[in-house]
Copies of this chain bind each other. A is one copy, B any other.
Amino acid sequence: MTNAVDKNDQANRVTVRDLARELGMSTSTVSRAFYGDSIIATETRERVLQKATEIGYQPNPLARGLITKSSRIVGLVVSDITNPFYPEVMTRLTERLQAADFNVMLVVTNPSRNEEESVRVLLSYHPDVVVMLATTLSSEASAACRKVGVPVLFFNRVGSDETSYAVTCDNELGGRQVAEYLAGLGHECFGFIAGRPDASTNVDRCKGFRDRLKELGLSAPIETNGTTFFYEAGYESAAALLKKNRNITALFCANDILAIGAMDAAQRELGFRIPNDLSIMGFDDIGMASWPSRSLTTIRQPLSEMIDKTTELALGLARKDGAERMVVRLPGELIERNTTRSIK
């Protein structure tokens, strides 16, 4: 007999009505107990909350969202997952958002598939805000969000449009830091291994590097064209570049994965010892960069601060705090390890 009920648990979730009945109150009052700022007697609220946990009541956010127009969902749009930097960002950000009682709806886009389609279904859930973790995402996706009034927050990429928010490492400054450092070690002939050419991270890091070298009166880096941010791309680009330009003594790669690919290429394809025959630097400071077998000199992205800021901004946007469009650029830190050396 009790079984009949148990079997149907799904259907029999406890609702406001149940809770109200138990307490002999109206559903209005019960509902109010769950909003910190609503007018209700303290004692009443306590009774409600207490009974709620007792019988396992939890407001249904779907029903709630229908009225309040706030789903407490944040959409997370992700693409380049082969870079270990992103899974880490994803999980840390998700944890923070969860702690603030938001839930993350994950969308994986794929250049080969229809991005807009994915975003369209995300939007049907009316997320309060969407954060884009995808360096390479077309701006149509963010246009679609804006069209239905959902604010967009870019992580590690500056949106091209005028109405979105971004938090990013100061990539251009990072490029400059690299130039400064390598020049300080006495290098004079530089290479740059590019990632995706249309990614703002790639463009900005390269620009800072190039600009600072110029300011220092050094010759411009020899640059590869760049295709992706994958290990394989780093390996192949570096092999080709180094074979053609034997005089390069310092290689800056658009990110750590590329740099690790480049390390392997330099060692295996050209027989270089690192850092004796070649200095290599990356960008990100992913976990692997500090493994003893890599020990990669790199620019560390200020991940914690970036996550903090993103969480803060996302929550603000969800609350519709009408902040102005803003771009937060946080400086990175040069981490010196064992893939670079002075040649003075």
Contacts and interface: CB of A to CB of B under 8 A. Distances in A.
Interface string A254-295: 000000010110011000000000000000000110011100
Contacts of A160: none
A147 interface: yes
A96 B110 CA distance: 12
A264 B235 contact: no
B76 A81 contact: no
What copy number does this chain have within its complex?
2
B105 A105 contact: yes
A118 interface: yes
Interface in A100-139: 101, 103-108, 110, 113, 118, 120-126
A126 B231 contact: no
A150 interface: yes
Interface residues of A, number: 62
Given A62-B71, A91-B81, A264 B287 contact: no
Contact of A103 (B65, B113, B122, B267): B122
B87 A81 contact: yes
A166 interface: no
Interface in A61-100: 61-63, 65-66, 69, 71, 73, 76, 78, 81-82, 84, 86-88, 90-91, 94-95, 98
Contacts of A60: 66, 124, 126
Interface string A157-182: 00000000000000000000000000
A44 B86 CA distance: 46
A9 interface: yes
A10 interface: yes
A50 interface: no
A126 B107 CA distance: 19
Contacts of A231: 287-288, 291
B10 A150 contact: yes
Interface of A: 8-11, 13, 58-63, 65-66, 69, 71, 73, 76, 78, 81-82, 84, 86-88, 90-91, 94-95, 98, 101, 103-108, 110, 113, 118, 120-126, 147-150, 231, 235, 261, 263-264, 267-268, 287-288, 291-293
For the complex of A and B, list the 10 residue pairs with the smallest distance between their C-beta atoms, beginning with the closest. A10-B149, A87-B87, A9-B149, A264-B293, A106-B106, A94-B108, A62-B62, A104-B106, A81-B91, A91-B108
Given A62-B66, A94-B106, A98-B118, 6 more contacts: A66-B66, A87-B87, A95-B110, A104-B105, A105-B105, A235-B292
